[in-house]
Chain A
Amino acid sequence: MLGLLERKLLFVTGKGGVGKSTVAAALGALAAERGKRTLICETDAKGNLADFFEVGATEFEPTEVFDGLFAMSMDTEESLKEYLRLQLKLPLVARIGPLARTFDFVANAAPGVKEILTVGKFCFEVRERNYDLVVVDAPASGHIVGQLAAPDAIKELVQVGLVRDQTGWMMDILGDPNKTGVVVVAAPEEMPVQETIELADRLETETVVDLAAVVVNRVLPELFNRPEEEIFEQMRTDEVVEALTDAAGGPARPVLDAAELAVTLRRSRAGHLSRLRDELPDGVPLLYVPYLFQRSHGVRATKQIAGFLGEELGY
């Protein structure tokens, strides 16, 4: 099987709140560490990407955030300008007049245009071989299918014109599993698992893009094996709690309560995890990233997660 980072274009998606952007940033960092010239791009305007690398706000023009890793944020208006300039050779702004308003119209009135400007930009970077790998911090699972299916949708709506002409080569790149893949990030909780299973199905039926991997983020550690768990149960009795409190020099009950919480959380999550394993299509690799008990989500956390992903990928 083709290594995840051997592909050229990865769309990282997932339900809101599962750590999608963190994983995208970590994949970018991992690829760059392994010597790949990597572009990472965020597609919403939240500006989270900058936090994961602790750099200033990213812009449409990529900046190198560390060795071999370039970061940018998608701006569809800039993408349109670039497209007109590079693809259509249109000497532009002066002649179109109020581009911003024109753009507003085009983007809002013509469905799929914003999406195709976004996806098109990534495909363009791949086609031009400007980078070894492009990692996209893509929209959440609710929106990703619309984005990836945009070239196809446009092809149906628009019968002639340059936009239609452009969709062919984009589809070739998107549909080639050696080049493009989707990485779905899930947390071992009910709704994220549910959405991941549904998304896997929709990617298969509604888009040409291959599901490259599922990353399970925030997996809680297993505290005890079976005999240890029995010992733990016995520790919960008043007599032992008292002895433990004396020996430890502070109240032991809350400490035991916290362990109990950790055990139950892990147990309820294990059920969701096994459902995920059972219902995903065969052959989709699952990569596990442990829960990080961390103070912050800065560059240190990004690198740690990159490390875990590297281990899971066998590096």
Chain B
Amino acid sequence: MARGQPTSATSGSLEELLSAKEIVICCGSGGVGKTTTAAAAGAMAAIHLGGKVLVVTVDPARRLANALGLEAFGNVETRVPDEAFADAGVEPRGELWAAMLDTKQSWDDLVHRHAPDAETRDAIRANPLYTNITGRFVQSHDYIAMERLYEIHTSGRYDLVIVDTPPTRNAIDFLEAPERMADFFSSRLLRWLTVPYRSRLVNAATRPFYRIADTILGSAFLEDIAEFFLLFQTMYDGFVERARAVQRTLEDKRTTFVVVSTLESAPVREAEYFMEALDDDGYHLGAIVFNKVLPNYLLDTKAAKAAKAMAERPDEIAAALPERLGDPSDVARVVDEVGNSFLNFRVVAARESEQRKELAAQPDVIASVPYFDADIHDLAGLLRLGEQLWS
């Protein structure tokens, strides 16, 4: 085992973690394999822990749907067929379900739930800002992901829900989303904004604000905005209460966070930042998963010595090999390439091992997944990755 790498005796397993939790939130920067990790962990949980396991992903690749034996999956939860498991040679103790997060649909559901009457509901949906806001509102994806999670969890339909978080510009955005959403709807600004359209009475303190807003955006647009928020305010109580409940769920002991990262510098830094933020805000960091980890043998000093010799004295070494391999100069070139390639990858592996040491201090569970040289096409492939995560 490489330097600095924790042994299994000092850290728990993902199996233990998942068996004790009801909600697992996978986070990390883009391109680190979050979605695949979430799906693999879900499949392993369904197989080994039993019960009903749901994986909610944000933007699933078609390949992931295929790997789960599904044509596609959408906002509605879909069960992964037993045949997919049978093809992979396993018999799961539980059930695996998958769903995708459709932001627009989820917002519509939310409005449907909270609108006081059908008239308000329709007015909201018809407002020109509604589509735009639900589609592009900076925090709307983040919020709706957490909202959906809460809805699923409180429905009691699943024993374990694993969520893949949306790619945010800032990894902690989605954590703060419920609070910000509640703040936003109770903010004075919103009241300011909607006042003149109710009373047409603008006081001295707020007048400059309107003048600027009017100049910049035009009063028609302002009215659209005001109407939208006036309508939304009818849902205010339900909405804020809901946002607070979502917040409590995130902080609950039954919820845990799994940070996923590769060992490249930018994702590692983001993971570091994210772990600090989790800690500061009192969330539970359950595990860190390192993806695409280069093999340990690259750090072996004796092998490095051999590689160095091959790169430095290829002709001499080639001459010591059986003649049947081919022309000595060709063989020497191969020896040279092989040695150099090892040394090249070793530089990267050494750097990554350093990165890893810095990060590994924090959570109880640390899992490493090696660099898979082929893409994952089926459940068997997903489970190979899952095995690496699991124990």
Using A105-B189, A232-B338 as known contacts, say yes or no to A142 and B270 having CB atoms under 8 A apart: no
Q: Is A227's beta carbon under 8 Å from chain B?
A: yes
The B interface is mostly helix, strand or loop, or mixed, namely: helix
Taking CB atoms, residues of chain B closer than 8 Å to A190 are 61, 63, 375
A240 and B297 in contact (CB under 8 A), knowing A17-B30, A139-B169, A255-B342?
Answer: no
Q: Which 6 A-B pairs have the closest CB atoms?
A: A16-B30, A17-B31, A161-B218, A250-B306, A254-B297, A293-B344
Mark out the residues of chain A between 248 and 306 whose CB falls within 8 Å of any chain B CB in the assembled complex: 248-259, 261-262, 264-265, 268, 293-297
A111 in contact with B221 (CB, 8 Å): no
Q: Which residue of A lies closest to B316 (CB)?
A: A247
The answer to the question of B229 belonging to the interface, with a C-beta cut-off of 8 Å to chain A, is yes
Q: Are B138 and A108 in contact (CB under 8 A)?
A: yes
B30 touches A112 (CB 8 A): no
CB-contacts of A44-98 with B (<8 A): 44-46, 48, 51, 84, 88, 90, 95-97
Q: A interface, how many residues as a size bin?
A: 35 or more
Q: Quote the shortest CB–CB distance from A45 to chain B (angstroms).
A: 7
Chain B residues lying within 8 Å of A44, measured Cβ to Cβ, are 169-170
A-side binding surface: helix, strand, loop or mixed?
helix
Interface residues of B in 123-157 (CB under 8 A from A): 128-129, 132-133, 135-139
Which of B170, B213, B326, B374 is A231 in contact with, Cβ under 8 Å?
B326
Are A17's CB and B32's CB within 8 A? yes
Total number of B residues with any Cβ neighbor in A under 8 Å = 87
| Given A104-B189, A255-B303, A265-B373, 18 extra CB contacts under 8 A | A45-B169, A46-B266, A96-B208, A108-B137, A109-B133, A157-B221, A161-B217, A162-B216, A228-B330, A244-B310, A247-B309, A247-B320, A248-B317, A250-B302, A251-B303, A259-B341, A259-B342, A261-B373
Given A235-B325, A249-B305, A255-B307 in contact, is the A157-B169 Cβ separation under 8 Å?
Answer: no
Docked pose: A12 CA to B172 CA in angstroms: 24
* Pair count A-B, CB < 8 A: 250
Q: Does B167 contact A (CB under 8 A)?
A: yes
Given A111-B133, A261-B373, A234-B295 contact (CB < 8 Å): no
Q: In the complex, which residues of chain A have a beta carbon less than 8 angstroms from the beta carbon of B341?
A: 221, 223, 258-259, 262
Q: Mark B311-330, 1 if CB is under 8 A from A, else 0.
A: 00000110011101110001
Task: Give bound CA distance, A142 to B58, whole Å.
Answer: 12
Which B residues are in CB contact (< 8 Å) with A230?
326
Residue in contact with B337 in the complex, picked from A106, A244, A259, CB distance below 8 Å? A259
B218 close to A164 (CB less than 8 A): yes
CB-based contact A161/B221 at 8 Å: yes
A262 to chain B, nearest CB (A): 5
Within 8 A of B (CB), among A142-171: 142-143, 146, 153, 157-164
- On whether the beta carbons of B213 and A102 are closer than 8 Å, the reply is yes
Please list 28 pairs of residues, one from A and one from B, whose beta carbons are closer than 8 Å in the complex, sorted by A's number: A17-B30, A17-B264, A18-B31, A21-B266, A45-B169, A46-B169, A46-B266, A106-B217, A111-B136, A157-B128, A157-B221, A162-B216, A191-B61, A235-B321, A235-B325, A240-B325, A244-B310, A247-B316, A248-B305, A253-B303, A254-B297, A255-B307, A255-B339, A261-B371, A268-B374, A294-B347, A295-B350, A297-B266
- The CA-CA distance from A104 to B322 in the complex, in Å, is 74
Q: Which residues from B are CB-within-8-Å of A16? A: 29-32, 167
Chain B residues, Cβ within 8 Å of A259: 337-338, 341-342
Q: How far is the CA of A161 from the CA of B309 in the complex (A)?
A: 72
Q: Is B334 an interface residue (CB 8 A)?
A: yes
Contact A158 B184 (CB under 8 A): no
Task: Judge if B387 is at the interface, Cβ distance under 8 Å.
Answer: no
Within 8 A of B (CB), among A182-230: 190-192, 194, 221, 223-224, 227-228, 230
Which residues of chain B have a CB within 8 Å of any CB of chain A? 29-32, 59, 61, 63, 128-129, 132-133, 135-139, 167, 169-170, 184, 187, 189-190, 193, 205, 208-209, 212-221, 224-225, 229, 262, 264-267, 270, 295, 297-298, 300, 302-307, 309-310, 316-317, 320-322, 324-326, 330-331, 333-335, 337-339, 341-342, 344-348, 350-351, 371, 373-375
Residues of B within 8 A of A146 (CB): 136
**Would A159 and B334 count as touching, CB distance under 8 A?**
no
Contacts of B136 in A (CB 8 A): 111-112, 146, 153
Hey, which chain A residues are within 8 Å of B139, CB to CB? 108
